[in-house]
Structure 1
Amino acid sequence: MGFDTKAVHTGEEPDFVGHPSGDVVVPIHLSSTFARLDVNEPTGGYEYSRSGNPTRFALEKKLAAIENAKFGLAFSSGLAAETTLVLSLLKAGDHVVAFDDLYGGTRRLFSQVFQERFGIKFSYVDARDPELISAAIQDNTRIIWLETPTNPLLRLCDISKISDIAHKAGALVVVDNTFASPYFQQPIGLGADVVVHSTTKYINGHSDSIGGALITSNEELFKALRYNQNAAGAILSPFDSFLVSRGIKTLALRMERHEKNAIAIATYLENNDKIEGVYYPGLASHPQHDLAKRQMTGFSGMLSFEIKGGEREAQKFLSNLHLFALAESLGGVESLIEHPATMTHASIPPEERRKIGVSDALIRISVGIENVEDLIFDLDQALKQI
């Protein structure tokens, strides 16, 4: 079954037995609890909405389907999903090897919560080189944590090679697939054990829901994650589950437009003499363009670039835009733009930001689905005022 078909139908097949009305859209089950006929067994399989909810369950089936996996879990945020994953798999003294270019919130969670307060150790390496991953693995390494493409530098790592290295060492591979979306990349098919998403981003796609997801084909791992999700309570609400399910139905269409617009904007920026460098895997100039073509089916709608000069020029440019909303987050139908050093990655110490390449002149764009000529005009007029 094609991606587009699964995105529309999985989890929402009309039920002429349980719901004789024949709903073609799964109902929003707002009930917090479910009555039963037999005191010893839930009648419909549900007892309390933290433990399971029909609307959330339909979404979780859809999430697994679009990643070509067996199991999905929907969480109240991407960081809630990450927290549940870490708490399910690690204990004090365990070690994680992570890509050094990570979303700032993930880096903050790892370094300032799990390392400082729970004694879990983290090593950050440039995962573009699989040998650096191999060299960083220790006897107590339990997880290799990757983003590809990364936030905000759009760096890639070879999921298949790193998965081979990790599995030989007895470690699991976790891939944050938020930037690519399941439409353009499916890490489990490349050897990863768990996929993480902020469903807030492309999967929902309309900037009106906060959510996260964990997806796996490992049944034992799924059971542990589900148990801890229920125990800790980081579940997605029925209404948000409905919103995300609705967003997924147009994911394929949206991602194609995001990519088309991003390629045009990246090409424009690459040829503008006020721009120092453009980071977009869809450009032939990207150092990992060949890897992107090999493990992705498209290049998505995220890009970043550096303005010549520095932070002052970056701030002036951002203040002169009209169509691009200066805001954190990404993946919505509207175009967003942000300054990582003072916004999404401000929690990372300046010396660490500089070490991985996040300069004060760096700007990140989430390219929306608007008319691309209008978007380029807006960028052009703002650059001319620097």
Structure 2
Amino acid sequence: MQLETLLANISQHSNLVDAYGATHLPIYNTATFDQKRQFPNNKNYDYSRTDNPTRNALEDIFTLAENGAGCVCTNTGVSALALLFDTVLKSGDTILVERDCYGGTYRLLSILLEKYDVRTCYADFTELSEVENALEQNDVKLILCESPTNPSLKIVDLKSVADLSQKYNTLFAVDNSMATFASQKPLDLGADFSLFSATKFISGHGSVVAGAIVAKTEHWSERLNYFSNAHGRAQSPFDVFLVSLGLPTLVYRMKTQEQSAIQLSEFLNTLSDVIDVKFPGLPSHPQYELAKSQMKIIPSVLTITLKSAEKAEQLIQNTKLFGEKVSFGTSDSRLEIPSKMSHATYSEEDLKKIGLTHATVRISVGLENIDDLIADIQQALKVETNKYVKL
């Protein structure tokens, strides 16, 4: 079954048994369930922290979409990461992480190191020799990366990293928040876990924070469920419902946004105030061929570096259609200076290691008309051209 078909009618393709034949996920917004009143079913419910029919239905869909063995939906994307660490790691373990990682991941790893003696080593995952060197020198329990990375938009060869994880008997997890299963499926490429913030492209509306983690094997699926119940990380039924509203349009939204991101990137490359444009959908990107082979859709996130921090602030403050907001992947376009927002927890030294400056701006392209977005940037930077009509 193609993904678009699976997502078009999620109540039909999940294991949810609804007495009234609801055509979308019914919200079982209850804390507890009466054991005596449940009709015969393959699953009995008692407490919503442990299991809930609404949440289980979405977990079924995510499991099918990622070709996994089981899924846990969590209350945030960071909670999915924390659940992974709770389940897999113990005090004294080492985790190998792509150096260019989300600021929330970086912060969480710093907390783990400080409180639980979990050691983190970082590497550039686009250099496989650097990854293997780290694996040779350290007894690594877990490998974690994003692809594309946030915000430098590097593409990691997931199959090759998965091969290294198997060679060194190490677990491998991919943060699939940006690409989503509409674009790539890490488990098919050899990863043990695929996790994502459903806050972003998957829900698509910016109305809910949510996360999920899908395991390749029954063993790890059961362990994730156990720790989710023990730590109370489960997502509420109403938040599950909000996430589910974005699923039927996910593929179509991302394809439309991809085309707009290509056009916006090409325009930005013509501006003298912009000294660098990073977008894996452009042939100029150093890993363009890998991106096209590994992903069906290039996510509509691009990162630019302007001539100065002052120019970056000018762009931020003068745009009318782009909100200054964290996160990405929603129907509205937005921009941010990562060093001030999503990656504010990074030290200046670590910002330099991943090539971020205060003149770096991350742009998430939404569903607005592309000519309007280009015109907005044009007027914000006071670009003199007649190619686009000014707002």
- Provide the residue aligned with 2:389 in structure 1: none
Q: After superposition, where does 1:149-164 map in structure 2 within 5 Å?
A: 149-164=148-163
- Letter matched to residue 326 of structure 1: E
- More displaced 10-residue stretch of structure 1: 2-11 or 352-361: 2-11
Q: After superposition, where does 1:162-181 map in structure 2 within 5 Å?
A: 162-181=161-180
- Provide the residue aligned with 1:197 in structure 2: 196
- Distance in 1 separating the partners of 2:19 and 2:85: 42
Contact kept, 8 Å, 2:10 with 2:25, in 1: the verdict is no
Q: After superposition, where does 1:1-386 map in structure 2 within 5 Å?
A: 1-13=1-13, 18-37=17-36, 45-111=44-110, 113-137=111-135, 138-308=137-307, 310-384=308-382
The CA deviation string for residues 210-229 of structure 1, in whole angstroms up to 9 with x for no partner, is: 01110122110110010000
Structure 1 residue 340, shift from structure 2 partner: 0.4
Q: 1:18 to 1:355 in 2, by over 3 A?
A: closer
- Letter matched to residue 236 of structure 2: S
Q: 1:13 to 1:169 in 2, by over 3 A?
A: closer
- Distance in 2 separating the partners of 1:216 and 1:13: 19
The CA deviation string for residues 32-60 of structure 1, in whole angstroms up to 9 with x for no partner, is: 10001299x99951110000000001111
Structure 1 residue 256, shift from structure 2 partner: 0.8
Structure 1 residue 70, shift from structure 2 partner: 2.7
- Distance in 1 separating the partners of 2:201 and 2:18: 30
Q: What's the % identity of the aligned pairs?
A: 36
**Secondary structure of residue in 2 paired with 1:195:** strand
Q: Return 5+ residue gaps in structure 1 as ranges.
A: none
Contact kept, 8 Å, 1:307 with 1:313, in 2: the verdict is yes
- Distance in 1 separating the partners of 2:186 and 2:19: 38
The CA deviation string for residues 167-208 of structure 1, in whole angstroms up to 9 with x for no partner, is: 110101100111111111111111111011000000110000
The CA deviation string for residues 253-297 of structure 1, in whole angstroms up to 9 with x for no partner, is: 111111011111011111212111100000000000011011111
TM-score (norm 2): 0.94
Contact kept, 8 Å, 1:36 with 1:43, in 2: the verdict is no
- Distance in 2 separating the partners of 1:345 and 1:26: 36
Q: Return 5+ residue gaps in structure 2 as ranges.
A: 385-391
**Secondary structure of residue in 2 paired with 1:145:** strand
**Secondary structure of residue in 2 paired with 1:224:** helix
Structure 1 residue 246, shift from structure 2 partner: 1.4
The CA deviation string for residues 306-360 of structure 1, in whole angstroms up to 9 with x for no partner, is: 011x212111221000000111111110001100011110111111101210111
**Secondary structure of residue in 1 paired with 2:182:** helix
Q: 1:44 to 1:288 in 2, by over 3 A?
A: closer
Contact kept, 8 Å, 2:302 with 2:362, in 1: the verdict is yes
Structure 1 residue 12, shift from structure 2 partner: 3.8
- Distance in 2 separating the partners of 1:22 and 1:177: 32
Aligned structure 1 segments of 4 or more residues deviating by more than 4 angstroms: 41-44
- Letter matched to residue 291 of structure 1: L
**Secondary structure of residue in 2 paired with 1:304:** strand
Structure 1 residue 18, shift from structure 2 partner: 4.9
Q: 1:322 to 1:306 in 2, by over 3 A?
A: same
Contact kept, 8 Å, 2:98 with 2:124, in 1: the verdict is yes
Q: 1:129 to 1:14 in 2, by over 3 A?
A: closer
- Distance in 1 separating the partners of 2:309 and 2:267: 21
Structure 1 residue 14, shift from structure 2 partner: 9.4
Quote the RMSD (CA, aligned, Å): 1.9
Q: 1:129 to 1:67 in 2, by over 3 A?
A: same
